[in-house]
Amino acid sequence: MRLFCDLLDAFGFETFQCRDGAKAVEIARQELPDLIIMDIQLPEVSGLDITRWLKDDDKVAHIPVLAVTAFAMRADEQRVREAGCEGYLSKPIQIATFIKAVEALMPKEAA
């Protein structure tokens, strides 16, 4: 995730990074970001569960979530989208593909 934050910083985006699921929801509620990039394979809780928590929270449910995962099967993408993620990228990820996906999900006034 650090690499993604560094890339976004280099492209002029402000980033917040968190590896704790409950803390991620708390930060999202406080900061109201334009986009959340979610690593699906987190150590304590699945990124899919965190996405569901976010989508169940009226304050942050509108924020698009871009899932980043090493899982690349069609069923994996379906699971990710069913959890509420608006975007899906499987690793390894090309920089141009990543930035394009981010820009596609960003609100037009924020991009």
Residue 83 forms part of a structural domain: yes
Q: How far apart are CA 15 and CA 33, in angstroms?
A: 9
pLDDT for the residue 110: 59
Domain carrying residue 12: 2-105
Which pLDDT band, with edges at 50, 70 and 90, does 36 fall under? very high
pLDDT at 111 over 60: no
> Looking at residue 6, which CATH number applies to its domain?
3.40.50.2300
Residue 72 forms part of a structural domain: yes
Residue 111 forms part of a structural domain: no
Q: What is the mean pLDDT of residues 17-35?
A: 91
How many structural domains are present in the chain?
Answer: 1
Residue 26, number of CB atoms within 10 A of its CB: 12
* Rg of the chain (C-alpha set): 13
Residue 50 forms part of a structural domain: yes
Residue 110 forms part of a structural domain: no
Residue 33 forms part of a structural domain: yes
pLDDT at 51 over 80: yes
Q: Express each pLDDT in 71-91 by its tens digit.
A: 777 788 899 999 999 999 998
Residue 38 forms part of a structural domain: yes
